[in-house]
Amino acid sequence: MPNSAAFSHTFAALTVPNFRRYLSGQAVSLTGGWMQGTAQSWLVLTLTHSATLVGVTVAVQTLPVLVLAPYGGVVADRVNKRRMILRLQYLLASQSVILGLMAALGAIRFWSLLLTGLVLGVSSAFENPARQSMLLELVGAKHVGNAVSLYATSINLARVIGPAIAGVLIAAFGVSGCFLINAVSFVPVIVSLARMDENDLRGEPSHNRARSGGLREGLGYVARTPGLAVPLAMMGLVGCLAFEWPVSLPYMADGGLHAGSAGYGFMTAAMSLGSVIGGLVAAGRGWTGPWYLVLSAAGMGIALVPAALAPNLAVELVVLPLVGAGNVMFMSGGNATLQLTASPEMRGRVMALWTVCFQGSTPIGGPLVGAAMSAVGPRAGLGLAAATCLVAAGGGALALRTTATDRAATRQEAPSPSVHQTQPSGDTPEIN
């Protein structure tokens, strides 16, 4: 009975039909997305024989997120999120179809990969904020932490399965099959969105809200709400300098551990396994709040220290699952904290800033981490990640304590108990 209760609690959000359908569709689509990403990197390398141009391709896809995602959040706060995401799925699927057909016909060129990558990046800049902020409307405040953790777990499962399938397909049929299968993988998401019951959405549907200003209003709202500003600042720092695993892990495998490409594959798998386990633990516990982010960032920083100092691959493979678990627990906890803290009319803009901090910082952080490793050595990437997480945890703790002290002083200076000062929602840290 206890095991059954724990299982039910871990997967509680799946009791909501809308979320159950949506997550099932996303699990398929995410796997297809990782297949396409793997095939695209291999294709660029085959066409250009340049690792630098592989990085340029990734930058073209992520720069639009950095620039346009905040405006995507403004749009998400003003329109029907479900319909917006549905329309963008058609665009994303079309991009994959074009890539697949061009690759099959032998007509694909590097410039065409840049162009389709730009389309993917622009679409993601508008799709990500809407998708992230819609989770609370799908499951309600009670299950949002569980839903975010389950979604993060599905991403990490797809990260293991997708590239493995892509490797087999590329060897057997070439890259075109990966692109076309990814196009087909959008069908379950489209079906789930089309069949979604809008009457069963929790919270306040976005298309019923009055317009509440634009990007400037969203930035001002975050700045005066510590429960939002602190997690976003922590994620901005960690996302930029710590979450650059595609840069730090290959260099560590090759130059630090002398384990080659096979070692890199084992390292990625070990970290992904830890992420899946961490995601399930986070789903079962439902921890949220700024103080939880401080603890998870500190834990990840501590785990990264032996990862940076590991003398051989065996030790690295023992430590990396802990890093992966801390990674997903920090991400899912931060995501849920922001969703629960933000007011409904601002949620899209808040989650857009989260997207910028997490995904849009890659064009900045990737080169910085690469430069640090080139200057100091292959272990510098994970060492910088460890230091970044610990600094973020310390800075977050200091900011939260300062905020609590200021609030206490304000209450003591109030001239009368009848005078009430409304605090921004969500600025009281807690671990549920």
Q: What is the pLDDT of residue 186?
A: 96
Cα separation, 13 vs 142, in Å, equals 9
Q: What is the pLDDT of residue 60?
A: 84
- Collapse the DSSP code of 260 into the 3-class scheme (helix H, G, I; strand E, B; otherwise coil) and give the result: helix
Centroid of chain to Cα 357 = 9
Q: Which residues of 200-223 are buried (b: 16+ CB within 10 A; e: fewer)?
A: ebbbebbeebeebeeeebbeebbe
Q: Give every CB contact of residue 206 below 8 A, 6+ residues apart in sequence.
A: 76, 77, 78, 79, 80, 81, 133, 137, 344, 348
Residue 382 corresponds to which amino acid? L
pTM score, whole prediction: 0.76
Quick one: DSSP state of residue 422?
A: P
- The full DSSP string for 142-196 is TTHHHHHHHHHHHHHHHHHHHHHHHHHHHHHH-THHHHHHHHHHHHHHHHHHHT-
Instruction: Tell me the two tokens of residue 97.
Output: 């179809």
Q: What is the pLDDT of residue 321?
A: 94
Q: What is the pLDDT of residue 430?
A: 43
Q: What is the pLDDT of residue 406?
A: 64
Instruction: Tell me the two tokens of residue 391.
Output: 């600094």
Q: What is the pLDDT of residue 417?
A: 47
Closest residue by Cα to residue 234 from 283, 305, 291: 291
Q: CA angle, corner 237, sides to 233 and 241, nearest 5?
A: 170
Flag residues of the chain having pLDDT under 70: 1-8, 51-52, 55, 202-213, 261, 406-432
Residue 318 corresponds to which amino acid? V
Cα-based distances in Å from 8 to 11, 226, 280, 284, 311: 5, 33, 12, 9, 41
Chain position carrying tokens 């430590």: 319
